[in-house]
Chain A
Amino acid sequence: MSGDYLTPALTGATLLRANPVSKLFAAVVITLALLASIDWVSAAVVLACELVLLPLLGISVLGLARRIWPLLVAALLGAYGTALLAEKTGGVLLDVGPFLFTEGSVAAGIAVGLRGLALALPGIYILLTTDPTDLADALAQKLHLPHRFVLGALASLRLVGLLVEQWEMLGLARHARGIGSDGSPVARVRNLLGQSFGLIVQAIRRATRLATAMEARGFGGGTRTWARTSTFSALDVGVAGVGLVIASGATTAAVLAGTWNFILS
């Protein structure tokens, strides 16, 4: 019922032990390499590497597909749409009424689908293997972001999970007052708006109380110490290094294959 956003989804993952900052670094360099060029070779290399690294998550390809299936659908749709609408170059593969696919348009479609997936996976890997508390520690201690901002965001993340619970409770409470999910479409929309407003009111009250509780424990002063040290280990050198290798490898492969297509040229 309540979404738990405070514990990572995969507890057996190797990546769980890496510092969030090194994971972020690897994800950023890979993303930059992918954004620099629109071609299918770099995207395919990155995607292949990401799949090879899947054991770091401690789940199977099928397990991953079950968690990210909406992304797969979106990538397929993107590839299909591009193949249908892109410039028609090369030999004709299929020509039925309005549907015209050529070698050129299909290649463009595949490139878009692969890039979409390759771009999304680093973020998914981080999301599945990072404890938000560790992330906050790393952001404040290693990247020196302001602690008030980082801890405020961490505390509010917990409230996001509670919102799901509150939404359901509000729905039942309103049903008890005679507002149900029955009625005309207009009445339903009005009910939905009313319930959303109720949720906002509750969320603000809850956040205010939490802020009071935090302030009562001395939060908000100038200096603070950290009970947990955010540390780097050999694993982090590996994670950052692998990120660099994937990014440069993909770029080199695309240049050698002659498909490199720099976005600013």
Chain B
Amino acid sequence: MTPVPAPSPGAASVSARGWGWRHAGRRAFAARHLDLEIRPGERVLLLGASGAGKSTVLHGLAGLLGSQDEGEQEGELLLDGVRPADARGRAGLVLQDPETQVVLARVGDEVAFAAENLAVPREQIWQRVHRALDDVGLDLPLDHPTGALSGGQKQRLALAAVLAMEPGLLLLDEPTANLDPDGVLEVRDAVVRVLDRTGATLVVVEHRVAVWADVVDRVIVLDAAGGVLADGAPGVVLVQEGTRARLADAGVWIPGRQPFVGGPVPDGGGDVLLSAQALAVARTKRGPAAVEDLAVDVRAGQALSITGPNGAGKSTAALTLGCLLRPRAGRLDALPGLAGAAGSDPFRWRSPQLVQRIGTVFQEPEHQFLTPSVAEELEFGPRRVGGTADPRRTGELAERLRLTHLLRANPFTLSGGEKRRLSVATMLATAPRILILDEPTFGQDALTWAELVTLLRELIDAGVAVVSVTHDADFIAALGGATLHVSGGAGRLVAS
């Protein structure tokens, strides 16, 4: 734990009294019965189960919840004693997805944007831009294109963009959930540097407690039923056995506590299903190859994890192994155990033949939803293959992935964890021999994570080959098998 610096005159205080918010069109309150006092300069980690209203609290403090037609408010939520909407620029919010926060084309303009919106005089804007970029450690020319940044750099840019407002309250909504391990530390350290200089108040929401436990001085746990479950120093809240158990039940990642996963680590492996030799993979027909000279076998009943830094071409390699992208060069052969009657060249298979052999789960589950209900999603693949879907099999699948109560729901209305389970289930519906997953554990809470690992272990035991693109060392260790490390345009197999 770092010593608490003296609160700077600019640091903001937060006060919630019986506060609650219900989004228009929803029956349940997203957050309710909240009573809180946060002093200027405090550094708070906000925890709670999925759906406990953590993001709603942050949006409320950022003044983004809007007027009565956007929802219903109870009690009051105050920033420096006034409504957040009346304190424009006092709170700065950084969101989870680095890709959806970039507004402008050049780094300097991006940082200047917020200061312009607050009507800061021009000569001061560029001073603020330089200081903000300095604070987050982005040493780039001001006209550097924002599209060319890595995920970690984009998140630091988003942080700098918010710092240009000189906010008294910094709000971070799972800022590192989508980053590789280097990116996570990059962003965390930048935040600490900024707080040490400005003394601003911090409220950060994050599943992965270990990242922030050492830099905050207070942990607040929201109760999914409303109100506060626990509140205190990290050394108390995260150590007390009672709260630890409740946090674990809520899906929070607690340092020193592995989520419970059923079954042993799979070992061994069967026949080769798919074999790549001197394979070069590329996103486009003409652009540069992402990875060259790959040699790897995908085996039945074995996991293959593809690792490496952001942007190294892991996803491109996985999409090629999934027979969705054509290889730039080299060979990718389906062996008889996989090909059956369809022939050894997977790129000659028709779509229904492909889904019976290889299932690919994309990082964004929504990209693959095709129908208006969960039940139809599960029946879609079998119908494509055989014309009809066996209701008993679909029922079993829904049962196994805890989707039975959601069969009539629209896939787009599900929670993040449910969407992930559904996207895996739709691929399993056609019983493929190979299952490919792109970053399956990004931003998942500990419960969803454990469920997913248990399921994948069962699949591996049943002879399915599971190929995952992942940064998650715990996940790789839990699945065993082989690891392909991709970086600098080359891939090599690492012994596990």
Contact = CB atoms under 8 A, between A and B. Distances in A.
A202 B412 CA distance: 11
Given A213-B103, A225-B122, A226-B116, A177 B355 contact: yes
Interface in B68-119: 88-89, 92-93, 95, 97, 100-106, 108-109, 112-119
A172 B325 contact: yes
Interface stretch (A26-34, A121-129, A214-222): A214-222
Contact of B105 (A6, A202, A219): A6
Interface string A218-253: 111101111111000000000000000000000000
Given A133-B104, A176-B360, A176-B362, A217 B370 contact: no
Nearest to B319: A172
A228 B116 CA distance: 10
Nearest to A132: B105
Interface stretch (A50-58, A73-81, A204-212, A256-264): A204-212
Contacts of B427: 176
Contacts of A175: 324, 351, 354
A217 B384 CA distance: 47
Given A217-B165, A218-B117, A227 B368 contact: no
A7 interface: yes
A216 B93 contact: yes
A154 interface: yes
B380 to A, nearest CB: 7
Interface stretch (A60-68, A95-103, A178-186): A178-186
Contacts of B126: 227
B119 A224 contact: yes
B268 interface: no
Contact of B122 (A6, A173, A212, A229): A229
Contacts, number: 153
Contacts of B354: 175-176, 178, 180
A77 B106 CA distance: 41
Contacts of B284: 1
Interface in B121-137: 121-122, 125-126, 129
Contacts of B287: 1
Given A173-B368, A178-B385, A214-B103, A227 B115 contact: yes
A90 interface: no
Contacts of A194: 370
A177 to B, nearest CB: 5
B53 interface: no
B481 interface: no
B352 interface: yes
B46 to A, nearest CB: 17
Residue of A174, A175, A176, A229 with highest tally of chain B CB at under 10 A: A176
A216 B113 CA distance: 11
Contacts of A183: 351
Interface string A16-59: 00000000000000000000000000000000000000000000
A10 interface: no
B177 interface: no
Nearest to B120: A225
Interface residues of A, number: 49
A179 to B, nearest CB: 6
B350 interface: yes
Contacts of B100: 206, 209-210, 213
A136 B322 CA distance: 43
B430 interface: yes
Contact of A182 (B115, B117, B162, B350): B350
Contact of A133 (B89, B109, B118, B322): B109
B283 interface: yes
Interface in B307-366: 319, 322, 324-325, 350-352, 354-355, 359-360, 362, 364, 366
B381 A177 contact: yes
B483 interface: no
Contact of A176 (B101, B125, B364, B368): B368
A258 to B, nearest CB: 50
B115 to A, nearest CB: 7
B367 interface: yes
A155 interface: yes
Contact of B370 (A133, A158, A174, A219): A174
B389 to A, nearest CB: 12
Interface of B: 62, 64, 88-89, 92-93, 95, 97, 100-106, 108-109, 112-122, 125-126, 129, 145, 147, 158, 161-162, 165, 283-284, 287, 319, 322, 324-325, 350-352, 354-355, 359-360, 362, 364, 366-368, 370, 380-381, 384-385, 412, 426-427, 430
Given A155-B103, A225-B120, 13 more contacts: A1-B284, A133-B105, A172-B324, A174-B368, A174-B370, A175-B354, A205-B366, A210-B103, A216-B64, A218-B114, A224-B117, A226-B122, A227-B122
7 contacts: A133-B109, A175-B324, A194-B370, A209-B95, A216-B162, A217-B161, A225-B121
Interface of A: 1-2, 4, 6-7, 131-133, 154-155, 158, 169-170, 172-180, 182-183, 194, 198, 201-202, 205-206, 209-210, 212-221, 223-229
